[in-house]
Amino acid sequence: MTVALPRRADRPARAESAELSSDGIHRDPGNHDPVATTTFAQRLAHRASGLFSGHTSRRSFLTRTAVVGSALAVGPIDFLLKPGTAYGYVCGTCTDGWTAFCCTINSGRNSCPPASFVAGWWKADNAAYCCGAARYIIDCNATCPTQCACRCSGASCDGRKTCCNQFRYGQCNTQIACYGPVVCRVATCTPPWRYDPSCTTSSATDNRTRDHGAPCLTTDCGTPIAKKYAALGGSAGFLGPVVAAEKANSDKRGRVARYRNGNIYWTSSTGAREVHGRILAEFGTQAGVNGVLKYPTSDTRTSNDKKSTYSNFENGRIYDRGTPGVFTVPRPYFAKHEAFGGISGVLGYPTGAVRRSRDNKSRYQNYVGGRIYVQGSRVVEIHGAVFTHHESIQGVYGPLGYPVNDLAPTGDRRGKAQWFEKGIVFYTPTTGAYGLWGKVLDRYAANGNVRGSLRYPTSKPTPVGDGRGTFATFERGNIYASSTTGGFQVNGAVLAAYLDVHGGPQGVLGYPLSELPPAGTPGGRIQTFEGGTLRYINDTNVVFTPNP
């Protein structure tokens, strides 16, 4: 259940509000100054008498807080019994000028309540609450327009104010200019930028708030690995008992603890993450944290399709698909794979480890739907019909060579194309995928490629069979090329006459030596061939004239 913040009864207008905003003062101008009003003290006295139903005794509270370890050890009797000493300091009052903790006013939740946002943070050094590490206090400011009214929390301990201090630390959500008063404070041992990614790492310090407490705040001690292990069930959990105690890794960056069925790794940037089972075994074959993957950044997860489990690492991911195997997708393959939808995309699951090509010019990884090649800094994927076609013509060792970019739309909203070192593959769902290269590609490009009259290819360049030339077919014509003639397009009625009447390039006409000129050309539309000409009269009449 979420506690609804008390609503404001009024929003006095302020004449200077617009002026303040233009001056860079972004506090909610509609939130009036409750501290200056004469009714505030009366309201404090009224509210402090007990909105908070549960009473927390001094002793029971202190036994739960970090203060036990510090102050109690020094002077337990004084500390417990003297009014106005540590107990008062930890608990605070409605008049001490500070804001209550969120867990006090937000149903025990140590998080920002509705109608508030993470607006800034500070830290207190050497905090007992965080076992001697820095303690972070994150302010939750009211969103504009302010929907809460200044009041005391009403708790017997942490009876501090809520919605009164219109102050902003300012490192978080800086895209939000307007802010209302601080509704409450989140206390954590987790750095704020990891608690909320909108926060920056610019630190502010206020050590006087080090031991501000509340009954709902507990110490946060133990190493992250120890806490993680406990959270996973300890020795009764799936990791099983400890087999090697936590220790620093040789990289001086992280720590690891080993258990019967898995490990927990920790760094300050990744947090504590477990790795177990077959994924851990694969991680080991990749040299663990000293290998390409570095530290895990997630626990083991189940994929959305429920067909695999996986763990994320700083430099990639490991998938366990069961019977097909366990495969690592390291950087830079991982980024490319993700860019194409990951396992749900066109490439699908990895089907093998990263391999080196026979020509030593690349490394690659196979996937269900294609392959990713890495050559130096170039990372290119190839998939589907284009991949199948490329493989059918000897892949990177064939006439196209290596792909140099990913499959991309051709711009006609119909097809796609992928560039290779020595050619281009064009694809549409109706024509399929065909590569073009050499003189055929040169002519196709010169004639406007997919936007030209030929449209998309329906074959790759194929030997004519005379030992001289090649040809490729297209949706609306052919291109013929030979070593001596170059490449030229033949289409329409001229193509029909060329092939059906005169035997094509192996017939009397041989190879074309020109294109058919456009309609209106003086002297008529005549296409020249090695053995003569074809004059286009109309779609049913093409006249052949042999060379003299």
Partner 1 sequence: MKLQAHGIETELPAGWEGRIALRTQPTAATRSIGDPAERTNPIVHLANFALPEQRGDFGSGAVDLMSEPHVLVVLFEYGPECANTALFSRQGMPKKLTPTMFSGAALQRTLPGQAGCQIFFTEGNRAFCLYTVLGGQSAATRVLPQANATLAGTRILAR
Say if residues 485 and 511 touch (Cβ distance below 8 Å): yes
Question: Quick one: tokens of 495?
Answer: 């193509």
Report in angstroms how near the CB of residue 253 gets to partner 1 at its nearest: 8
DSSP E strands, 449-485: 462-463, 469-474, 477-482
Tell whether residue 38 is a contact of partner 1 (CB under 8 A).
no
Ordered alpha helix ranges (H), 112-164: none
Tell whether residue 467 is a contact of partner 1 (CB under 8 A).
no
Of the pair 177, 243, the CB lying nearest partner 1 is at 177
Tell whether residue 521 is a contact of partner 1 (CB under 8 A).
no
How many chain residues interact with partner 1 (CB under 8 A)? 54
Say if residues 363 and 370 touch (Cβ distance below 8 Å): no
Residue given tokens 């993680």 in the structure block: 228
Tell whether residue 255 is a contact of partner 1 (CB under 8 A).
no
Report in angstroms how near the CB of residue 320 gets to partner 1 at its nearest: 32
- Smallest CA-to-CA distance from 215 within 70, 66, 114 is with 66
Ordered alpha helix ranges (H), 309-383: 333-339
Give the span between the Cα atoms of 99 and 164, in whole angstroms. 8
Tell whether residue 451 is a contact of partner 1 (CB under 8 A).
no
Of the pair 204, 446, the CB lying nearest partner 1 is at 204
Rule CB under 8 A: choose which of 106, 147, 153, 166 binds partner 1.
166
Rule CB under 8 A: choose which of 4, 7, 12, 33 binds partner 1.
33
Say if residues 166 and 149 touch (Cβ distance below 8 Å): no
Rule CB under 8 A: choose which of 30, 69, 88, 170 binds partner 1.
170
Element (H, E) at 432: strand 432-437
- Smallest CA-to-CA distance from 371 within 358, 380, 362 is with 380
Tell whether residue 188 is a contact of partner 1 (CB under 8 A).
no
Of the pair 104, 428, the CB lying nearest partner 1 is at 104
Is the C-alpha dihedral spanning 461, 464, 467, 470 positive or negative? negative
Give the contact letters, 74-113, x = binds to partner 1 (CB under 8 A), - = no. ----------------------xxx---------------
| Cα 517 to Cα 55, 203, 298, 453, 528, distances in angstroms | 98, 74, 65, 13, 10
Say if residues 275 and 328 touch (Cβ distance below 8 Å): no
Report in angstroms how near the CB of residue 182 gets to partner 1 at its nearest: 9
Work out the angle at residue 539's Cα, subtended by the Cα atoms of residues 535 and 545, and round it to the nearest 5 degrees: 20
Question: Quick one: tokens of 523?
Answer: 């002297």
Element (H, E) at 419: strand 416-419
Tell whether residue 24 is a contact of partner 1 (CB under 8 A).
yes
Of the pair 126, 484, the CB lying nearest partner 1 is at 126
DSSP E strands, 304-352: 309-313, 316-320, 326-330
Tell whether residue 269 is a contact of partner 1 (CB under 8 A).
yes
Of the pair 40, 419, the CB lying nearest partner 1 is at 40
Residue type, 492: G
Give the span between the Cα atoms of 279 and 292, in whole angstroms. 15
Do strands 477-482 and 469-474 pair parallel, antiparallel, or not at all (unpaired)?
Answer: antiparallel
Rule CB under 8 A: choose which of 7, 12, 19, 411 binds partner 1.
19
Tell whether residue 167 is a contact of partner 1 (CB under 8 A).
yes
Of the pair 203, 533, the CB lying nearest partner 1 is at 203
Report in angstroms how near the CB of residue 259 gets to partner 1 at its nearest: 25
Report in angstroms how near the CB of residue 304 gets to partner 1 at its nearest: 31
Report in angstroms how near the CB of residue 292 gets to partner 1 at its nearest: 23
Of the pair 209, 514, the CB lying nearest partner 1 is at 209
- Smallest CA-to-CA distance from 498 within 471, 458, 475, 522 is with 471
Q: CB atoms < 10 A from the CB of 362, how many? A: 18
Q: CB atoms < 10 A from the CB of 202, how many? A: 11
Of the pair 268, 545, the CB lying nearest partner 1 is at 268
Report in angstroms how near the CB of residue 151 gets to partner 1 at its nearest: 13
Say if residues 159 and 91 touch (Cβ distance below 8 Å): yes
Rule CB under 8 A: choose which of 85, 111, 200, 223 binds partner 1.
200
Report how far Cα 404 is from the mean position of its chain's Cα atoms.
24
Window contacting partner 1 (CB under 8 A); options: 125-133, 413-421, 450-458, 469-477: 125-133
Tell whether residue 161 is a contact of partner 1 (CB under 8 A).
yes
Tell whether residue 177 is a contact of partner 1 (CB under 8 A).
yes
Of the pair 125, 466, the CB lying nearest partner 1 is at 125
Report in angstroms how near the CB of residue 150 gets to partner 1 at its nearest: 7
Tell whether residue 162 is a contact of partner 1 (CB under 8 A).
no
Tell whether residue 460 is a contact of partner 1 (CB under 8 A).
no
Window contacting partner 1 (CB under 8 A); options: 169-177, 402-410, 455-463, 517-525: 169-177
Report in angstroms how near the CB of residue 85 gets to partner 1 at its nearest: 18
Say if residues 527 and 516 touch (Cβ distance below 8 Å): yes
Instruction: Enumerate binding residues for partner 1 (CB under 8 A).
Output: 16, 19-20, 22-27, 31, 33-36, 96-98, 122-123, 125-126, 132-134, 150, 161, 164-171, 174-177, 181, 191, 193, 200-209, 252, 268-269
